[in-house]
Every structure is written in structure tokens, then in C-alpha cells.
Structure 1
Amino acid sequence: VREAVGRAGVRREDVAGLGFDATCSLVVLDAAGGSLPVGPSGDPRRDVIVWMDHRAIAEADAINDSGHEVLRYVGSAISPEMEAPKLLWLARHTPETFAKAGHFLDLTDFLTYRASGSLTRSACTVTCKWTYLAHERRWSKDFFETIGLGALSGDGFRRIGAEVADPGAPLAAGLTAEAAEAMGLAPGVPVAAGLIDAHAGALGTMGAAFGADPAPDPRRRLALILGTSACCMALADEPLFIRGVWGPYFSALTANQWLAEGGQSAFGAAIDHLMRLHPAYPAYLRRADGFVTMEREIVARAGGASAAARLARDLHVLPDFLGNRSPFADPSARGGVVGLDLSDDDDSLRALYVAGLCGLAQGLRQIIGALENGGYDFDTLVASGGAARSVLVRQIIADATGKRVAAPETSEPVLLGAAMLGAVAAGRHTMRGAMAAMSRLASVTEPAGGEIAELHAKKGRAFEALQDAERRMREAMR
């Protein structure tokens, strides 16, 4: 924060508000705010279960077996990445930590707590990851008792959030004196109820103006947040229930609208993993600037970003290395590669990279199809996150999905979304006003037609055949 203020050349008094975003990781504290261990090491410094930790698959299965009505609001199947399965895992495997815990917080809520002293949770975090029923402004006591977490309901759900505020709402008296001293800001600066990082990316892009369209309809846009994982965010005025797509979540992003969230548990992480499997990758990294150089070489060799798909015509990647989040809600799904030969040179490395991107784009195509079959109608995919900066990534997604892909002006739309929260908390904008006033799109990538479109259609059929084969192999080995 000190560095940002210095580089911006503003006085600390000019900072109007603070917004926070973070991954949907689980923080465990005792009643005094001290750290508690969440794993077998017993080390209290390890007080966070990271969002992509799948230790709670068995607990997620048990919760899903309950068939409880609450599960309708998580796509009919809860994920081990959500907090209820992780809480159940803690209760089963670290009962001492569970009993001592005074506060279970999403990481975003932990940050706003440290900044403001307020334990009020964001409606974004608790609705999207904790099964809070925002449309009824309540937790379901019956649900927690049914799944074996009734201990959390006895004190009015104080340990997981007795008070919940909409994203952007100002918390307590703003920045505490201690936090202000640490950040180099003035005490009392408004601190906003936060957002999960992907949701901040959606906020930073879904209302962005472009060209002659200064007031786009966010309901016609699908926000793609492409980082370690991929998140796909869509807004509607009415609840749309789609199996395998998380939600619908009420007022989790914008007031009085319903949010749906599809996604892939590994996106950038899948490409990293895939590259590390290839024998040429370590040497390539030593002499090249990673993926930037690789993509430049791929586009040059292929004769264009769309033409790059030809390099992976007969090489197919199923990138479900960490399960399939959407649209199949199958955390036990696994990845695979078909079409490998004995080549181990740089050309085969580049082909594998393109094949990985094509596989991820086919997964996004399936998610978009599930959303549109469920009632959504998108005219634009708005991409943010580290991977979205790549022209090649945006073009392959456009070509595989048949949708135009827009990119924002800012290189950090997730942080921009958090800044919007600060502006809302300070009273400078409403949420919708901030979306329109503070963001713009820089470019739009149109999908290719003709032979390239047909190539992706063929690869789509191969992708689905590979998915089916993976399911049948798992079944055969049971």
C-alpha cells in the first residue's frame, strides 16, 4: 500500500477508500485472533487451507449424499473447494483445532477484519463458498445439523459470521489506527466488505465501456477470470438453477441480481503441469522468456494466432488434472494426453502447449453451453487474469467457443474491482456506477470461421470422446 501511494504520487489523505479481494481460502483463528493449525504438523503458522486443497473430497461426497435443499444453490453438488466440506474435515481430523476455533473466515474477510477490526462477513464470500442463503438473509441451521456441523449453529453462527454485509458496504469505523500506521494511511478511511478475487475480476470487467457502447448490459457478458484456475461469472435478474454450475447466488456481486459461477479448477496450473511433463521444457526455459517467447514463436510458425491450432491437430489434452468443476461437478475426474509420439524437441513442446490451450478452451465451451442452455445469452466473453493478457489464449478461446473475447484496458482488472469496492464504501459511486465509470475495454478478438472453426469442432468431438474414455477407465478400475 505504501508503495502504491508513493508511485501514484498522491497524499495519504487522498485515499478515499479501501477494497480487498483474496482467494476463497479458509483462515482459522482462536477467539483472541491467534492462529490455529489446520494440518497434521500442528504448526499454528499453517492456519490457512488454500482454496484448491482437495483434502475434503470424502466430506464433500457425504454432504452431497444428504440431498439437502441448500445444495440447489451450489449447482446441486458442493465442491471440496468450498468451506463446508473443509470445516467438516477439520471437525473430523483436527477436532482440537475445531473446538478451539473462535473464528472461521474466508481470506477476504480476514483481511477486512485486520484492516477494520470488524468480523462482519461479505455476502460474496459466505454466499458463494459457505452456503449462506443471501436471498433469505440467513444460515440454514437444519443444513449444518444434517451434515454434522451443528456445533456451528449453537451461538447464532457467530464463528462463521453472525453479521453479513453486501460487497462494498463500509465496515465499522473504517481503517483502525494500527492498520493505518502499518499502511501509511489515515485512520478512519472507509474499508469495504470485500470480494473473492475472481469476483473482483468480474466486477472490474463486466460493466466496462467499449467504443460506441458506453453502457453495456452486464447480463449479456460472461466474465472469464483466467489465472491458476478459471472462473466464469454470469449475472441474471432471476435465479437460474443449472446443475454443475455454482449458484445461483443472490447479491453476491451486484445488489438484487443473481450470480452463477462456472469454472475450471486448473487453468494456468494445468498448463504449467503439462509443460513440466515435457523433457524439452527445462532447457527451453533456460534460454527463453517462458510462455511469452513460446507464444511469439508459435504465432510466427503457424502464420497467425488462429492458425496455431493446426499445430495441435492430432494432439488432444484433457486438462482436468484437479477434477472437473463445471459442468460435471466431478472432483475425481483426471487429465490425459492422446496423440503423443516419441518427439521431444521444441516443436513438440510448442504443439503440446497449443493442445493444452485448446483443451482448456473446449472445457470453457462446455461451461458456456451449460449456462446458455440454462437461460443465459452472452454476446461477449470479457477476459481478465494473467492468462487473459495473451493474444493466443484469447484467440483460441474465441475460435473454440464461437464467441468474441474482449480484454480490458487495465492489466490488473482484479485489483481494479477491489478499488471499485473502496469507491463504493467511500460513497463515490454505486456498484453499478463504479462498473461503468472506472473500467474500459481495450480490444475485442473475433472468432475465426471456415476451416479453423471446423478444426475446433473436430477437436471438440475428440475432447468429449476423451472425457468419456476417462470416465470409463475410472469405472473399470473400481
Structure 2
Amino acid sequence: MYLGMDIGTSGVKAVLVNPAGAIVATAARELSLSHPAPLWSEQDPDAWVNAAIGAVDDLAAHYPREVAQVRGIGLSGQMHGATLLGADGRPLRPAILWNDGRSHAECVELERRCPSLHAIAGNLAMPGFTAPKLLWVARNEPDIFARVAKVLLPKAYVRYRLTGEMIEDMSDAAGTLWLDVGQRRWSAELLRATGLDLDHMPRLVEGSEASAMLAPELAQRWGMAGNVVVAGGAGDCAASAIGLGAIAPGDAFLSLGTSGVVFRVTDRFAPAPASAVHAFCHALPGVWHQMGVMLSAAASLAWLSGVMETPAAALLAPLGERVDGPSPIKFLPYLDGERTPHNDAAASGAFVGLRGATGRSQIVQAVLEGVAFAARDNLAALSGASAPIAEVDLVGGGSRSPLWAQICADVLGIPVHRVEEGEVGAALGAARLGRLAATGEDPAEVCTRPRRLATLAPRASTTSAYHDAYRRWRDLYPALKEL
């Protein structure tokens, strides 16, 4: 048996996978966010640990025999979060998260200090990345910065608490702006630009590599016998790719989680910073990937659900499983700024075209379409960086909705595949990495593709209408930016 844990933004998921690769059980614990100032987004690192342990506690309580047979554990997690530890290994402050936008000025400073940043890290300096956050801490919280002994990403902190070892994998490390992504090693030059050195960084391993052993007290708590290997793991997007079997160059998927991602596997380091495309290491040795990132995908629907005090499912139900054309309302899904293609932490969301006769369903549809239009922006950015993407698997919480999948197909103009277990892709990918670390099997034998539940093909007349709507939608951001 193998266990995967996904340290997300809104919650932690744990999934138990049997030797045949089938999911036996899942458990989840919710997490809360803190926004103490405009553009700020923080979490208590110990909340991740408590949620992870609690989720496995739930599995052990209901599936004790299966949990006792676990031999490998993999971790995936939200990327970029700055978890600052003192010499005692305890957090010095709340973690600054991926969707925190406070460090815009520090991004400009980092690019000035390190002209070779793009060539080494393969990415623009953006407030979501980890390195600018440390420059912000150095400027605004110098007493805390002076006490920083180690900087860990979220899942690395959970690993530390589970094993006692400070270790990071290549895919997550690539999102810090401290990694030489092509060479798959920490860059002393990039670290110096933020006042840090190699001693501040955890040891690096590949995602499928054994990183540490589960602490004996936790193995005993969960009834696990013998040594339990903890794999290097992966950032959430790379872990989702492992769960989807996206491990060969050209494989691609669209994730509609809290954030949104268009992901493509590459056989080499292929940076494209001019279009705000991310170029990262994959979770397997010798493989890389490109990503376009939207900061508010399913989060946009969750926001609307909260504002309207109506569950998301109830908002979607009146629309059915397909719509005949675009909503008359346009929505910009930039609730937390945006990365690809705008790299604008100050971008904000907007509804345009509201009238007295506007109904709730038109607003709901506009939110789904706004996220799909942003995904088309990302698809265009990746297609401009290399070969066009011909089809995508759909994962994340948004993959539950056949309606949203059809809207994405019509907006993107390519087939969109809804897949089995699309909502637990990252946790499943983590479990697969745990298996690879424990068994040393061939990744191609373990990282198989999930069964496709349905293929949503673009409808010609609707796609044409969405093409025109997308063109008008594209005009909104530059117009509103001036305001």
C-alpha cells in the first residue's frame, strides 16, 4: 500500500493506493487563510502538519489493515510558500503563500540585482515566487530575517515534521527562483541576490527518490510496520502530472483547482519568461515542464458562492451541462492578481456589462467563462513558447462540472477530457512517487493514464461565438488597468 498527501491551500488531502494502483480511500482536512493586509496571504505552517496528521489518523481509524501495509509515502504541496525557520527548527512567522502579492517592488529589485535570473531560474521574478518574499522580509522585518536559519516550502516543512529531515524535491525547488533549473541544483548566485547562501537551503532530491524515513512514533501511531520510505515528492502541479501519467514530452493538462494551470511536459529546460510562462523541473529525473498559471480559477467560483451565500453546485444546476453561447456579462478572474500572461499582482477582478435585467445564472456563467478565457490566454502563451497543445485532460475541483468542461472545450477550441479521479490528481501522484521511492520500479509502469470518463469536443458554432467574445474580453484588462 502507498500513501499520498497533498498539502493544498484550502485543505490537505490524503489518499491510500493499493499495489494495483487503485484508490482505496481518501481523507481531507480543511485549512484557513489569513489576509492581514491588502495583497497579503498567509497560513500557519503547523496547521498543515496538524491537518496532514489528522487526515492520516482518519484513514488509520477506518482502514487500519490497509494503512498498516503502507511502505511508501509521497508528498505534494502548494508551491512557493516561504516558511522561515529559526535555529530551533520552529517557524519565525506565518508562511507567506503563493498568492501573496506584497513583494512587487522586491521583484523589480531582484531583477536589477541579478541580470542572469531569467537564464538560470528560467522565470520572471513574480510576487508569488519565494525569493522576492525573502527580500520583503529583509526590508520590512529585519529582525526576523536575521534569525532565518532555513527556508522551506510548505510540503518540505510537513516532511520535516514527519521525518526530522529538511529536504526538497526539484519540481518544488524550481518555483523558488533560487534553483538553477537546467542543472537541477541550488544557485549560489541567485541566493546571494536575496542575502542567503546554500546553508539556508534544504538538501535536494528527485521527486521519485527516497528522501527520508517516517518517524518511528508516527509509524507506530498509524500501525505501520517496518521502515516507511518518504519520497522526494513534488509541487502540486508536477504531482498532478504524475497522477495523470503526464510524464512524456508533449503530454498536457488543464487544472481548475484553487488556482488554474495549463501544464505541458518537455524533454529539456525550455524557459519562456517573455510570455510569463514558467519553466520548472518535473518530478522525475531528466524531465522538465512548462506552465501557464492563473491565480484564481475554482477560487473564483468559490468566491461567488460565498458572496451569494449559495453552494457552488446550486449555482451551477440551473445552467445544466452546456450553454448555447457566451453570457452577455464579462468577468475578469483576477481576484488575487494574475501571473500568465500579465505578471500583475495588482490586477483585480471585474464584472462588465451588468444591466438591470441581469440574472444570477448569467453572472455564474460569466465566472466560468472568465476562467476559461484566462485558460485560453495561458494556452496561447504556451503555444507561442513551443508547439501548439492539441488536447488536455481536465483535473482539479472544477473538473467535477461537465458544464465547465464543455465551456473550456468551446473556448479553447480543443478536446477536453474529464478523467477518473481528476480531483485527487496531486495526492494520487504523490502516492505514486512514494511507490517509486519504495520499489524502484519503472515510472512508465506506475504512472499510467487514468480512465477518461468523457471527451468534450468543441462545438463549431459555439466556438466561433466564444472566439469573438474572447477577443472582446481581451480588451478589458488593458482598459481597466489604467483605472
Bucket of the pairwise TM-score, normalised by the shorter protein = 0.7 to 0.9
Give the aligned partner of residue 459 of structure 1. 469
1:2 equivalent among 57, 61, 73: 57
In the TM superposition, residue 235 of structure 1 has moved relative to its aligned partner by: 0.9
In the TM superposition, residue 169 of structure 1 has moved relative to its aligned partner by: 0.9
- Kindly provide the CA deviation profile for residues 185-244 of structure 1, in whole angstroms up to 9, marking residues without a partner as x: 23520100121223211221144xxxxxxxxx7433322221111122211113333223
Give the aligned partner of residue 305 of structure 1. 322
- Kindly provide the CA deviation profile for residues 316-335 of structure 1, in whole angstroms up to 9, marking residues without a partner as x: 11222222210222222222
Give the aligned partner of residue 41 of structure 1. none
SS of structure 1 residue aligned to 2:149: strand
In the TM superposition, residue 294 of structure 1 has moved relative to its aligned partner by: 2.4
- 1:219 partnered with 2:258: no
Structure 2-normalised TM-score? 0.82
State the alpha-carbon separation in 2 of the partners of residues 247 and 467 from structure 1.
21
SS of structure 1 residue aligned to 2:84: strand
Is the Cα–Cα contact under 8 Å of residues 120 and 179 in structure 2 kept in the other structure? Answer: no
Give the aligned partner of residue 169 of structure 1. 209
SS of structure 2 residue aligned to 1:204: helix
Change in 2 beyond 3 A, CA 1:415/1:35: same
Larger displacement relative to structure 2 (411-420 or 326-335): 326-335
Change in 2 beyond 3 A, CA 1:97/1:187: farther
- 1:230 partnered with 2:260: yes
SS of structure 2 residue aligned to 1:234: strand
State the alpha-carbon separation in 2 of the partners of residues 259 and 202 from structure 1.
10
In the TM superposition, residue 412 of structure 1 has moved relative to its aligned partner by: 1.5
Aligned AA for 2:280?
Y
The within-5 A match list for 1:134-153 is: 134-145=181-192, 147=193, 149-150=194-195, 152-153=196-197
- Kindly provide the CA deviation profile for residues 28-73 of structure 1, in whole angstroms up to 9, marking residues without a partner as x: 2212212312xxxxxxxxx322221222122122223446222245
In the TM superposition, residue 175 of structure 1 has moved relative to its aligned partner by: 1.0
Give the aligned partner of residue 317 of structure 2. 296
Give the aligned partner of residue 409 of structure 1. 420
Give the aligned partner of residue 448 of structure 2. 436
Is the Cα–Cα contact under 8 Å of residues 249 and 260 in structure 1 kept in the other structure? Answer: yes
In the TM superposition, residue 184 of structure 1 has moved relative to its aligned partner by: 3.6
The higher radius of gyration belongs to: 1
Is the Cα–Cα contact under 8 Å of residues 211 and 232 in structure 2 kept in the other structure? Answer: yes
In the TM superposition, residue 87 of structure 1 has moved relative to its aligned partner by: 1.0
Give the aligned partner of residue 378 of structure 1. 389
Aligned AA for 1:401?
L
SS of structure 2 residue aligned to 1:121: strand
State the alpha-carbon separation in 1 of the partners of residues 96 and 168 from structure 2.
18
In the TM superposition, residue 413 of structure 1 has moved relative to its aligned partner by: 1.5
SS of structure 2 residue aligned to 1:305: coil
Change in 2 beyond 3 A, CA 1:187/1:62: farther
Is the Cα–Cα contact under 8 Å of residues 220 and 379 in structure 1 kept in the other structure? Answer: no
SS of structure 2 residue aligned to 1:297: helix
Is the Cα–Cα contact under 8 Å of residues 75 and 244 in structure 1 kept in the other structure? Answer: no
State the alpha-carbon separation in 2 of the partners of residues 72 and 261 from structure 1.
17
Is the Cα–Cα contact under 8 Å of residues 398 and 404 in structure 1 kept in the other structure? Answer: yes
Change in 2 beyond 3 A, CA 1:434/1:110: same
Q: How many residues align?
A: 425
The within-5 A match list for 1:222-301 is: 222-242=252-272, 243-250=274-281, 252-274=282-304, 281-282=308-309, 285=310, 290-299=311-320
SS of structure 2 residue aligned to 1:224: strand
- Kindly provide the CA deviation profile for residues 364-387 of structure 1, in whole angstroms up to 9, marking residues without a partner as x: 111111111211332321111111
Give the aligned partner of residue 14 of structure 1. 69
State the alpha-carbon separation in 1 of the partners of residues 171 and 122 from structure 2.
16
Which structure 2 segments of 5+ residues have no match?
Answer: 1-55
SS of structure 2 residue aligned to 1:63: helix
Quick check: which one's strand share is greater? 2
Give the aligned partner of residue 127 of structure 2. 80
Identical-pair percentage? 24
- Kindly provide the CA deviation profile for residues 53-109 of structure 1, in whole angstroms up to 9, marking residues without a partner as x: 222122122223446222245564211111001111111111222222222100111
2:136 equivalent among 66, 72, 89: 89
State the alpha-carbon separation in 2 of the partners of residues 11 and 409 from structure 1.
22
Is the Cα–Cα contact under 8 Å of residues 380 and 404 in structure 1 kept in the other structure? Answer: yes
In the TM superposition, residue 15 of structure 1 has moved relative to its aligned partner by: 0.8
Change in 2 beyond 3 A, CA 1:365/1:298: same
State the alpha-carbon separation in 2 of the partners of residues 21 and 276 from structure 1.
27
Structure 1-normalised TM-score? 0.83
2:232 equivalent among 183, 193, 202: 193
- 1:28 partnered with 2:67: no
State the alpha-carbon separation in 1 of the partners of residues 258 and 329 from structure 2.
23
State the alpha-carbon separation in 1 of the partners of residues 387 and 64 from structure 2.
43
Give the aligned partner of residue 332 of structure 2. 318
Aligned AA for 2:78?
T
State the alpha-carbon separation in 1 of the partners of residues 137 and 226 from structure 2.
37
